[in-house]
Every structure is written in structure tokens, then in C-alpha cells.
């Protein structure tokens, strides 16, 4: 895979795993993260170029892409992966958390997409992959803010894809389920469901770059179930939610186990 690929939020978790998988496939990878120290350490571990980037800042995101193209090469693929997941009752979510979540998860994706399109469209090629979530199509108590942000990413990605489909640039969304990263610290898995690993999401991104499609869910069976479930009455959907414990997972959690993550995402 002889492509230059930039990944945001790649100092850990899904972004890190994706960078490692793409490098193993022969891609030239550059990573970015708001945590300068973690980005540098991740870059050294992976053997890839690493930069600091604040995806909410046009100047910072532009500087990141400039650095990638200057030091690595013309950008073929941008993976907008940076995101945060505050959880808890909607009435207890602070205004600051709400603004930061939407700024990173939504505006960061929009900004990265626009900046990448500005480089890719004149070349008539390129691929933008936005990491969304099945949470964007499956509303869950205690996850309202994150649900809203990922729903926005899905629709933004779809609309942008339709707008630029004649330019040679692909725009896709990846919708993971529960994945074993810091985002789910202190929570339990849905009953009877095995969480994905970051490597599962990375594999989906690798496949998507090789064969571009509008959207892929991980695992795919849950994507199909989500589409089918949307056709059922609300009472039935709530019963299913209770059966798997989804009605309490993000309301009854171990707050101490999330302290480190919560402190980091609040900067």
C-alpha cells in the first residue's frame, strides 16, 4: 500500500492501532495528537512521523497537514479519529463538557474534512475516513452527548460524500461498537457481547482504504442489526436495551476508574 496516510488522535487506542496496521501494509504513516509527549512516544514506537495537532484549531490542523505533506509526501488518506466520550446523566453533563465534546468530535471532523478536501480535490484523488460510532445510530441512556456528536459525524460524512463524489475523492465513515480503549473505562460490556479490540477497527480501516465504501460498521453484524432494529416499535427497542443492560451501562459506572480519562479529556 504505497499511500501517505495521516491519522489524528493516534497516540493511543484506535488511532495507534490503525497507524500500526497501515504501516505493516506498507503505507507511509504520519500521526497527530494533542498530547505532544504521547504523540512523540507513539511515533517512536511505531517508527513514523509524529506531530502535535489540536483538531479544533484551523491553524493547528493546517500546520499538521502542511508538516505531513512537507516531511512525508502528498496526502492520500486522512483518518479523522480524534474524539472524546464523556458519559453520565444528561442533566449532569457540564456545558464545558458539551462544548468540548462537540468541538472535538464534530467540528474537528468537519475541519479536517474541509482542509483535506482543499488538498485532495485539485489532485482528483484521495480518501477521507471519519471514525464515527454505532452510538451515532443507537441512542443510549447516559450517552446522549456522545450519541449526538457521532450522529452528526455520520450525516456530515454522508452529505459530504454525495457532494464530492464526482471529484475522485472518497469520503467514508467507520462505525465501531464498544471497543477496549480508555473511552469505556469504568463501564461494563453489554450482556453477552464481546467488545472489539482497537485492532478490529484498524483492520476495517485498512480494508476500507483498499476497497472504498460509504460506510462500514464493526462488527458488520451489529451494523445490520442496527438498521433492522430501527424498523421496530420504540417499546420493543427499549426492551432489547434493558435485556442487554444498555439502559444502565453509562449511568451506573465506576467513576473512580474513569478519573484519569475524564481529567485528560477535560484538558
How many whole angstroms separate alpha carbon 52 and alpha carbon 8?
Answer: 9
Interacting residues of 87 by C-beta distance below 8 A, sequence separation 6+: 142, 143, 146, 187, 250, 253, 258
- 186: pLDDT strictly greater than 70: yes
Strand (E) or helix (H) holding 180: none
Instruction: Give the three-state DSSP class for 166.
Output: coil
Answer yes or no: are the C-beta atoms of 127 and 170 closer than 8 Å.
yes
* Domains of the chain by start residue, with CATH: 4-265 (3.40.50.720)
- pLDDT category, 237, cuts 50, 70, 90? confident
Q: Would you call 146 a catalytic residue per the annotation?
A: yes
Helix (H, G, I), strand (E, B) or coil at 9: coil
Q: Is this structure's pTM higher than 0.85?
A: yes
pLDDT of residue 229: 67
| The predicted structure's pLDDT at residue 242 | 87
| Separation between Cα atoms, residue 142 and residue 251, nearest integer Å | 5
Question: Which run of H or of E encompasses 222?
Answer: helix 220-229
| Tally of CA atoms within 13 A in the half-sphere of 61 that contains its CB | 24
pLDDT (mean) for 53-59? 98
pLDDT band at 6 (very low <50, low <70, confident <90, very high): very high
CA dihedral 217, 222, 223, 225 (to 10 degrees): 180
Task: Give Dmax over CA atoms of the chain in angstroms.
Answer: 55
3-state secondary structure of 4: strand
Q: Are 250 and 87 in contact (CB under 8 A)?
A: yes
The string of pLDDT tens digits covering residues 80-89 is 999 999 999 9
Cβ–Cβ < 8 Å for 247, 255: no
**pLDDT recorded at residue 195:** 92
Dist. CA 53–CA 121, nearest whole Å = 23
pLDDT above 70 coverage of the chain, percent? 98
Tell me how far apart the alpha carbons of residues 58 and 144 are, in angstroms, rounded to a whole number.
27
For residue 100, pLDDT beyond 90: yes
Q: Name the pLDDT band for 4 (thresholds 50, 70, 90).
A: very high
Across the chain, mean pLDDT equals 94
Q: What is the pLDDT at residue 267?
A: 76
Among 146, 244, 253, 261, the one annotated catalytic: 146
- On whether the CB atoms of residues 53 and 46 are closer than 8 A, the answer is no
Q: Average pLDDT, stretch 150-156?
A: 98
DSSP 177-233: -SBSSGGGTT-PPPTT-PPBPHHHHHHHHHHHHHS--SEEEESHHHHHHHHHHTTS-
Angstrom distance (rounded) from CA 160 to CA 178: 26
pLDDT tens per residue across span 208-227? 999 999 999 998 887 777 77
Phi, psi at 79, each rounded to 5°: -105, 110
**Cβ atoms of 109 and 101 closer than 8 Å:** no
Residues 225-238 have a mean pLDDT of 74
Decide if pLDDT at 41 tops 90: yes
Section 240-252 average pLDDT = 88
Which pLDDT score, from 0 to 100, does residue 106 have?
98
Q: What is the mean pLDDT of residues 159-171?
A: 98
* Mean pLDDT of all residues in 201-214: 98
pLDDT at 232 over 70: no
Q: Given this model, what pLDDT does residue 153 score?
A: 98
Amino acid at each position: 500500500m504505497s499511500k501517505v496516510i495521516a491519522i489524528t488522535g493516534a497516540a493511543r487506542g484506535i488511532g495507534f492501532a490503525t497507524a500500526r496496521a497501515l504501516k505493516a501494509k506498507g503505507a507511509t504513516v504520519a500521526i497527530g495528537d494533542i498530547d505532544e509527549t504521547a504523540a512523540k512516544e507513539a511515533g517512536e514506537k511505531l517508527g513514523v512521523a509524529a506531530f502535535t495537532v489540536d483538531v479544533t484549531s484551523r491553524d493547528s490542523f493546517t500546520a499538521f497537514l502542511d508538516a505531513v505533506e512537507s516531511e512525508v509526501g502528498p496526502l492520500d488518506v486522512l483518518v479523522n479519529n480524534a474524539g472524546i466520550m464523556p458519559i453520565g446523566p444528561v442533566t449532569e453533563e457540564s456545558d464545558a463538557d458539551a462544548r468540548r465534546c462537540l468541538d472535538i468530535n464534530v467540528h474537528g471532523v468537519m475541519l479536517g474534512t474541509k482542509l483535506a478536501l482543499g488538498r485532495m480535490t485539485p489532485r482528483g484523488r484521495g480518501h477521507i475516513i471519519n471514525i464515527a460510532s454505532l452510538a451515532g445510530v443507537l441512542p443510549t441512556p447516559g450517552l446522549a452527548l456522545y450519541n449526538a456528536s457521532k450522529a452528526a459525524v455520520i450525516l456530515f460524512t454522508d452529505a459530504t460524500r454525495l457532494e464530492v463524489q464526482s471529484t475522485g475523492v472518497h469520503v467514508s465513515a467507520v462505525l465501531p461498537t464498544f471497543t477496549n480503549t480508555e473511552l469505556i473505562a469504568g463501564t461494563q460490556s453489554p450482556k453477552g457481547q464481546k467488545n472489539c479490540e482497537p485492532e478490529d477497527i484498524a483492520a476495517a480501516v485498512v480494508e476500507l482504504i483498499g476497497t472504498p465504501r460509504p460506510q462500514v460498521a464493526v462488527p458488520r453484524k451489529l451494523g445490520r442489526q442496527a438498521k433492522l432494529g430501527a424498523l421496530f416499535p420504540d417499546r420493543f427497542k427499549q426492551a432489547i436495551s434493558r435485556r442487554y443492560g444498555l439502559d444502565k451501562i453509562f449511568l451506573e459506572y465506576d467513576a473512580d476508574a474513569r478519573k484519569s480519562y475524564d481529567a485528560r479529556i477535560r484538558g
